[in-house]
A and B are shown apart, each in its own frame.
Chain A
Amino acid sequence: MDIQEYFSLVFSDYTLRTITLGTAILGAVTGMLGSFAVLRKQSLLGDAISHAALPGIAISFLITGAKDSNTLLLGALVSGLIGTFWIRGIITKTHLKSDTALGLILSLFFGFGMLLLTFIQKQPNANQAGLDKYLFGQAATLVESDVWMMAIVTGICLFVLLLFWKEFKILLFDKDYAKTLGFNTKTIDILITSFIVLAIVLGLQTVGVVLMSAMLLAPAAAARQWTNSLATMVFLAALFGAFSGVFGTAISASQNNLSTGPVIVLVAAVFVFVSFIFSPSRGLLFKQIRFIKNRRDLQLHKTLAFMYNIAETHDDISHPHEIKILNNFQGFTKGTLKKLVEKDYVTLQGSTWSLTNEGFKSASNLYNQLTKNDE
């Protein structure tokens, strides 16, 4: 199946439609909430939480003995929240730093989860197969009820987000100010963190424990490059996330042996890459172009200033001089000379140049009026 075929099938084929819808919704909600995680400098929290959710899945399977994805995800939610609050406890109550706390909880919970998973595998219970799909995720196992679940949770997230938009925003950018205004920052904080945990848990089935953090980060990091407004960023992140989901599913469905989770992550990574380079205000490409342009401007000024210094010593400012004498000094290129001619600052005659009146005037004001744009 190639990609064209995929897009013609996506509306008619039940499985494809479910998976595509599921990954799109997932990408949107993680992108949305990921924006907050990224701006709160909690980028790696997602990684820790998703790993910390694993023992919850195993324990809830051990208790219920059933593979119903909702109960398993409930277990994941509980253990993810325990992990999150333990991380906060470590950071606030001891002198261990946040990265140590994250790494600790991540590896310890994951190791414990693996212990439980291998323990379950040895149990004489035919029902246990397939728990390891939560490690790397299997979008193919999504069914309609899962998608409904995602849609409902996304709806709730969106509702709460809009309801507490002001509070979230102020907490994000000025926590102390929010406190002095009388907002209960602790509650809002817990609310945001809980939603982030919820979004991660939702994605476990599709993308898996290991790669879930990228779903949270990548769309938000990409969106951050295009805007400085929180609302736009959240919207863009949701959009990028949804597109990563759809494209990722399309690519993995059109090839054999391609798991959906890693492909979605790679598509999201491409979004980040493109944004890093091509974003107009922050992107590396335009930054470099601006840098080069500034350097050219400076060079132009330098040449003009040098010419001015020479012309100043003569009574007639338009007295012609050899181009060669410019060569002894840096800052002269053919390009800059041509530019000066274009601006009527300089006239060229054969191998000599002479400053025009206008050129003299603007050169003498060069360092007085830095704001004046010479371009």
Chain B
Amino acid sequence: MNAPVTSLRSKATLSALDAQRLLDAFPSAVVVFGPEGEIVAANRRAEHLLAAPVATVIGQSPDGAFRLFRERAERIATAEQARFVQPFGSLWYLVESFPLAAGAQSLRAIVATDITDMKSAEFEIRESEARLEEATRIAQLGTYKFYWDTGKIHWSAQVYAIHGMLPGAVITSERYRDIVHPDDCELFDRTHQDQLDGKPIRGVEYRIIRKDGAVRWLRKDARVLFDADGEPYATFGTCQDITEAKQHEQELKSLLRRNTILYEALDASPIGVGVVTTDSESPEFFYVNAEFERLTGHNTSSLSEHGIDTLTPGGELGAGWARVVQTLRASVSGAFELTCLRRDGGQFLAQIEIAPVRDHPGRDATVFVLNLRDITVDRQRADSLLQSQKMEALGQLSGGVAHEINNLLQPMLALSDLGQDIADKDPAKVRKYFEVIASSGRKARDVVRQVLTFARRDAPQLAPYPIADLVGDALHLLHSGLPPGIHLTPTLACGDAHAVVNPTQVSQVVLNLVTNAADAMDGEGEVALALTEVDLDQVTAAQLTLAPGRWIRLSVTDKGCGMDAYTLSRIFEPFFTTKLAGRGTGLGLSVVYSIVAGWGGALKVDSEVDKGTNAMVYIPLATDG
């Protein structure tokens, strides 16, 4: 900037016009002041600053904003030369002020260069720096620099904040390692070595323990800086506090893990499990587990596509399946045994249990869990189990039955024979023989009928029967089958009370209980059998899981070997037996249990080792009418 002025001074021969042209060609605004502050010269570019044509301001003192320029220029003119930056309107100027020695006059020149473009770029940089600073604060992201020669680390303010330290604390690698979480020290050392090896660090996550005890997760990214000679001199990196993100990540992970485990558990379940929603018109399958798929041949997507109808034989809801849908609509629990159609067209007997999943108490559920089991084989097995126990019981009875029949055949055969001999001589006696023969025949018929009834395979029909008569009949059949040393003392004290039972099953129950009692006493001793009507109070009824009120109780008591608690806990299991091999299948009490349960009654067994056992069967009393 000095150049034109110097040349102005040295080319004194320039005409005023030339001087003015020269000034006007100058790219900055130039104004020259006289000793009184009057404008001596100005170029065209100064007109904007002076807010007036050059010709009109010569000899005048400047007004307005430019006056400020001048005053400021003079104020700082203690130095030979001054530069300052000042805004003018919306524009920024670099202002230079310097004295001119023009003859004896003391002149001062102001050169103002428009730097608005440069200035706004600078603003932008500042602003973006401020934004960056704010962003790093929000993101909890700091920067650091590690100097290889000194081992010192320079941290940004944000890094100090992340580490819970006051800015300015001196940090070295060794000191830093002390705050690294013990479990992450190895990783930290490895990363540090990578850093020294000039390798970039990408997304290394580790924990620190802050002075306040807080454990924070940090993420580090860094690269090596090289000097002009290509030698590495420092590492520049970012450090971000990712504790919150990490916590969310952990929560998400554990949630995913839980989900995975739950799904795996469901798939490992031996029971078919389906989830059904009832948001829409007809129930829809939301999910089925592996067992459900195996049983039906349908997976979740084919079930959700075709709906519950696809499981129903014939493709339409029978009465049974209609009840399933009704249960879902009513938002209640239910259990069903239904024929279920497989995808391959096969069918199986299904046990279905439905339970509502209530997400809002008090509101009807729209999500249900549906358990599915194939009970075809179980049902067949239960049927044959019951039948085989009956056959076993029949075998036990056969000794007694044979005895009975033989005793009845005896008079029939022998008296027929004797009668023939005396037919002519003593007709009265022959008539007497015939009576005995006929009555023996009738008794034999009854025995056979009882045996046949007992061996029948039909499903037991329950109806009201005079229970004392049934028990009496059973005892009659049983009587001759008991070891001679066993004395059975029956007390049938319930009159002609009717119980809702099946006669064959009553025989089975009595036979099993009395045989067990006899066996417990090694074939010698007294078995007390009592049939009474009892009144169950609330507490007793609850213990038996029965309704309070009138019941018929069949009690069989022995003074035998008794059972310990362990044995007692297992007596209802099928095939559990304390008897010697070949002397019983161990089905007895389990069958009694299931028979009594089938009546809606209860079986309770009390026992004490070496004292004896008492079995009590509670039988439903028939209601009048």
- A and B: real partners? no
